[in-house]
Amino acid sequence: MRSGGATAGFSLDWRHSDERTERELTTELRGEIVTLTPVTEAHVPDLRRIRGTAEVGARWGSVDDSPTWPFDDPTTACFTVLEGSVVRGFVQYGEEEDPMYRHASVDLFLDPAAHGRGLGTDTVRTMARHLLHDRGHHRLVIDPAVDNDAAIRCYKAVGFREVGVMRGYERDTDGDGWHDGLLMDLLAEDLT
């Protein structure tokens, strides 16, 4: 569900009340290592710098392709990943509100310089708790590229399970082809 990618079917249904909107826009989520806080203009330079790194850009595409990112997709809730006061990454979610299929989808990236320290696992676990306990979802999905071994290990550590490979799922960032995605899901009782 990366920004600029497939977001069909997902929406943040703010129609419930203005109070809900205000609460969600000011929600700060605390993990063991990270704090997830709604993206502000002050975070944007650091987030765009991280997204512009070769490793993140290979998965998310060029930040130059989306001059209004991360504010370009009103169907997602966007959070900055902080370690103390240092911007370490970005996490977003979208929600399917149809009661027959209600669930949330998550995407994230972290600064490659911060990899290997547990920030990814803490980010995913913190967001999963929020979506399951605060937002009332029973199921979450995430869709890494099949060759993104580090992300897949991170998601499994939190309790996500492999559902299956989605062939030709996402356009390559160079626009010349397609690559496979791995659909993973987590039920509330799977969260570790």
Asked if residue 36 belongs to a domain, the reply is: yes
Give per-residue pLDDT as tens, 27-72: 899 999 999 999 999 999 999 999 999 999 999 988 877 889 999 8
pLDDT of 20 over the 90 cut: no
Asked if residue 148 belongs to a domain, the reply is: no
pLDDT of 2 over the 70 cut: no
Q: Are 185 and 176 in contact (CB under 8 A)?
A: no
Exposure string (b/e) for 61-99, b if CB count within 10 Å is 16 or more?
A: bebeebeebbeebebbbbbbbbbeeebbbbbbbbbbeee
Asked if residue 174 belongs to a domain, the reply is: no
Residue 40's φ and ψ, nearest 5 degrees, are: -120, 165
Residue 25's φ and ψ, nearest 5 degrees, are: -70, -15
pLDDT of 14 over the 80 cut: no
pLDDT of 15 over the 50 cut: no
Asked if residue 23 belongs to a domain, the reply is: yes
Confidence of residue 25 (pLDDT cuts 50, 70, 90): low
Give per-residue pLDDT as tens, 98-155: 889 999 999 999 999 999 999 999 999 999 999 999 999 999 999 999 999 999 999 9
Confidence of residue 5 (pLDDT cuts 50, 70, 90): very low
From 70, 30, 28, select the one nearest 49 (Cα to Cα).
Answer: 70
Give per-residue pLDDT as tens, 61-93: 888 778 899 998 999 999 999 999 999 999 999
| pLDDT of amino acid 6 | 34
88 beta partners? none
For 115, the domain range is 14-141
**Average pLDDT score over residue span 169-189:** 93
Number of separate domains in the chain = 1
Asked if residue 25 belongs to a domain, the reply is: yes
Q: How many CB atoms lie within 10 A of CB 21?
A: 13
Asked if residue 165 belongs to a domain, the reply is: no
pLDDT of 22 over the 70 cut: no
Beta strand ranges found along 31-72 (DSSP E):
35-38
Asked if residue 180 belongs to a domain, the reply is: no
Q: At 94, which CATH number? A: 3.40.630.30
pLDDT of 19 over the 70 cut: no
> What pTM was estimated for this model as a whole?
0.85
Confidence of residue 185 (pLDDT cuts 50, 70, 90): very high
Asked if residue 35 belongs to a domain, the reply is: yes
| pLDDT of amino acid 62 | 84
